Copies of this chain bind each other. A is one copy, B any other.
Amino acid sequence: MGSREELYEELISKSKQTALLSSCASVLGWDEQTYLPPGGAEHRGNQMALLSGLAHQQATNPRIGELLSELEALDLGEETDPIAVNVRDLRRNYDQSTKLPQELVEEMSRVTTMSQQAWIEARKEKDFSKFLPWLEKVVELKREEAQALGFPEDGIPYDALLDQYEPSATSKDVNAVFAPLRDALVEMVAAIADSPIEPDVSIITRTYPVDAQREFGTDAAQQIGFDFRNGRLDVAAHPFCSGFGPGDCRLTTRYDDHHFNGAFFGTLHEAGHGIYEQGLDRGHYGTPMGNSTSLGIHESQSRMWENFVGRSRSFWNHFFEPAKVAFPEALGNVDADTFYVAINDVRPSFIRVEADEVTYNLHIMLRFELEQPLMAGDLQPADLPAVWNETFTRYFGITPADDSEGCMQDIHWSAGLIGYFPTYALGNMYAAQFYNAATAELGDLDEMFARGEFAPLKQWLNKNIHQHGQRFRANQLVKEVTGEKLSPLPLIEHLKRKFGAIYNL
């Protein structure tokens, strides 16, 4: 038995090795979404399965269990000290990993690679039947996974999956904050529908040449603080951000030459994720202290830059003139106020990633409502299109014309990401809370944005959120930073204030 330092060093070295191996899989995963030729899907599935299997082998090495037990018997200092944090969260990882059989991990990797390719084709062809056999396999494996991970006696299988993305959160907690948010949103959507104000959304669907969009979006991402020396922006069917490790963070977006919002706010969104990844402490790379703390917190960063910054009036004080230069045909005869209202148009629509700030959260609640019975076995994949459309109609008052704008719109289920969606709405709530705290400390952020100054907010986020890695769980972090626990109220207030002004409510 070694000294505390020796034990800890051995543990950390194993943690770094596993992280490095997983980061290789991230590169292959990114390539799969950006550049993989269609014929390569099966081979890529085999590659990913091998890497997942090896990473799982390393993560479940019994020596890690021994090291953890020995360390846990020693004094590890304050519970927010790096040693204590890393031991706590490596224990969590180890316990989760050892609960999953190697075959399940490899099978999941192989199946999700193939099913993502099937999803791409099925979505293109609007043909759910092509996706269904793969979705069934994925759902079956996720149900097995939930059982293997386990969940509280008073919980549901879904809790096991949710906890992987939002550590310590339960469906009960989520329901508790979703309920008041849902009521407020439904009321707000109705009020907006009744408002005589009608944004001129035709502005947004004019011609925006793709090259100009790429250049304008890249410039904006750079201005808000994403570092392109240590990252890039590519095209993918479903936009995402993947931090491979120090110095290499990849963003993706997709362009439509007749829609401004998708690529531009998508780029800001992914850049927000990227700024979090780039703000992690490199010295702690490969350990929990150098890792983001939850997907909800991650999403708070992307939503912050996308909505609280990018969709604010003050942001366009700075960016509207360059936008007119970049898109003279579309914006030549438009003024900034009209544009601001157009990009903030609120109306029920089918595609989550293109939804406005208000209805967006309803899209999440819809998925949350379906995923829980799907995991409990009370809803079958074959029934998803019908149940989706029925629920969608109930929430939004409109019905998808096909499954590509219905239950096949998102990559998540094809990739086995079930339990992930709620973190998007949690992120919106955290973002509102953080934004208030930043304003309290830094003063009027809008004045800064109008001058093109984004560094103060970025540095505040670096200091208060990014650099901590997993030092705090999401629910602790929000208390540390804002003095309050997770609450839907700041988000509701933000939406009421902003859209009250726009729609004259």
CA distance A5 to B429 in the complex (A): 61
Q: Which residues of B contact A505 (CB under 8 A)?
A: none
Assess whether A230 is in contact with B37, with CB atoms less than 8 Å apart: yes
Instruction: Please encode chain A, from 34 to 53, with 1 for each CB lying within 8 Å of some chain B CB and 0 for all others.
Output: 01111111111011001100
The answer, among B39, B40, B248, for a CB contact under 8 Å with A39, is B248
The answer, among B20, B21, B31, B54, for a CB contact under 8 Å with A27, is B31
Task: Say yes or no: A23-B35 contact (C-beta < 8 A), given A40-B244, A244-B40.
Answer: no
Kindly provide the distance from the CB of A257 to the nearest chain B CB, expressed in whole angstroms.
16
Assess whether A24 is in contact with B51, with CB atoms less than 8 Å apart: yes
Judge if A231 is at the interface, Cβ distance under 8 Å: yes
Judge if A28 is at the interface, Cβ distance under 8 Å: yes
Judge if A247 is at the interface, Cβ distance under 8 Å: yes
Name the CB-closest residue of B to A50. Answer: B20
Assess whether B232 is in contact with A50, with CB atoms less than 8 Å apart: no
Judge if A167 is at the interface, Cβ distance under 8 Å: no
Assess whether A246 is in contact with B20, with CB atoms less than 8 Å apart: no
| Copies per complex of this chain | 2
Q: Which residues of B contact A43 (CB under 8 A)?
A: 23, 244-248
CA distance A23 to B40 in the complex (A): 12
Q: Which residues of B contact A46 (CB under 8 A)?
A: 20, 245
Q: Which residues of B contact A51 (CB under 8 A)?
A: 24
Assess whether B50 is in contact with A24, with CB atoms less than 8 Å apart: yes
Kindly provide the distance from the CB of A72 to the nearest chain B CB, expressed in whole angstroms.
28
Task: Say yes or no: A39-B245 contact (C-beta < 8 A), given A20-B47, A21-B50.
Answer: no
Q: Which residues of B contact A124 (CB under 8 A)?
A: none
Which A residues from 15 to 34 make CB contacts under 8 A with B?
17, 20-21, 23-24, 27-28, 31
Q: Which residues of B contact A234 (CB under 8 A)?
A: 35
CA distance A248 to B46 in the complex (A): 12
Judge if A89 is at the interface, Cβ distance under 8 Å: no
Assess whether B229 is in contact with A37, with CB atoms less than 8 Å apart: yes
Q: Which residues of B contact A245 (CB under 8 A)?
A: 40, 43, 46-47
Assess whether B230 is in contact with A39, with CB atoms less than 8 Å apart: yes
Kindly provide the distance from the CB of A445 to the nearest chain B CB, expressed in whole angstroms.
28
Judge if A227 is at the interface, Cβ distance under 8 Å: yes
CA distance A459 to B445 in the complex (A): 67
Instruction: Please encode chain A, from 453 to 476, with 1 for each CB lying within 8 Å of some chain B CB and 0 for all others.
Output: 000000000000000000000000
Assess whether A227 is in contact with B50, with CB atoms less than 8 Å apart: no
Assess whether B228 is in contact with A42, with CB atoms less than 8 Å apart: no
Which A residues from 227 to 265 make CB contacts under 8 A with B?
227-232, 234, 244-248
Q: Which residues of B contact A35 (CB under 8 A)?
A: 232, 234
Assess whether B42 is in contact with A246, with CB atoms less than 8 Å apart: yes
Assess whether B247 is in contact with A41, with CB atoms less than 8 Å apart: yes
CA distance A24 to B51 in the complex (A): 8
CA distance A54 to B58 in the complex (A): 12
CA distance A246 to B247 in the complex (A): 31
CA distance A20 to B38 in the complex (A): 18
Name the CB-closest residue of B to A234. Answer: B35
Given A23-B43, A37-B228, A46-B245; 20 other pairs, CB 8 A cutoff: A20-B47, A23-B47, A24-B50, A24-B51, A27-B28, A27-B47, A31-B31, A35-B234, A36-B248, A37-B231, A37-B247, A37-B248, A38-B229, A38-B230, A39-B248, A40-B245, A40-B248, A41-B247, A42-B246, A43-B246
For the complex of A and B, list the 3 residue pairs with the smallest distance between their C-beta atoms, beginning with the closest.
A40-B248, A39-B247, A39-B230
- Supply 20 A–B pairs (Cβ within 8 Å), ascending by A: A20-B46, A20-B50, A21-B54, A23-B43, A24-B28, A27-B27, A27-B47, A37-B229, A37-B231, A37-B232, A37-B248, A38-B229, A39-B227, A39-B231, A39-B248, A40-B245, A43-B245, A43-B247, A47-B244, A47-B245
- Give the B-binding residues of A (Cβ under 8 A): 17, 20-21, 23-24, 27-28, 31, 35-44, 46-47, 50-51, 54, 227-232, 234, 244-248
